[in-house]
Amino acid sequence: MSTDHEPPLDERERLDLCDLLDELGPDAPTLCEGWTTLDLAAHLVLREHFSKWTDEKRAVEKAKGLPALTARLRAGAPALPWRIPGVRNLLNGTEYLIHHEDVRRANGLAPRTGRPDLDKIAWATVRLTARGTARKIRPHGLEISTRAGESRHYGPPGGAVLTGHPVELLLYLSGRRDASETDLTGDPEAVAALRR
Q: What is the pTM of this model?
A: 0.91
Task: Look at the alpha carbons of 151, 156, 161, 162 in this order and tell me if their dihedral is positive or negative.
Answer: negative
Residue 2 has pLDDT above 70, yes or no: no
d(CA 55, CA 68): 19
Residue 13 has pLDDT above 60, yes or no: yes
Residue 4 pLDDT class (50, 70, 90 cuts): low
- What does the pLDDT read at residue 76? 86
Q: Which uninterrupted H or E stretch holds 116?
A: helix 116-136
d(CA 151, CA 128): 13
pLDDT digits (tens, 9 = 90+) for 144-154: 999 999 999 99
User: What's the whole-number mean pLDDT along residues 43-53?
Assistant: 83
Residue 24 has pLDDT above 90, yes or no: yes
pLDDT digits (tens, 9 = 90+) for 144-185: 999 999 999 999 988 999 999 999 999 999 999 999 999 999
What SS3 state is found at 36?
strand
Residue 22 half-sphere exposure toward CB, CA atoms < 13 A = 14
48 or 170, higher pLDDT = 170
Q: Which amino acid is at 43?
A: H
- What does the pLDDT read at residue 186? 97
Beta bridge partners of 59: none
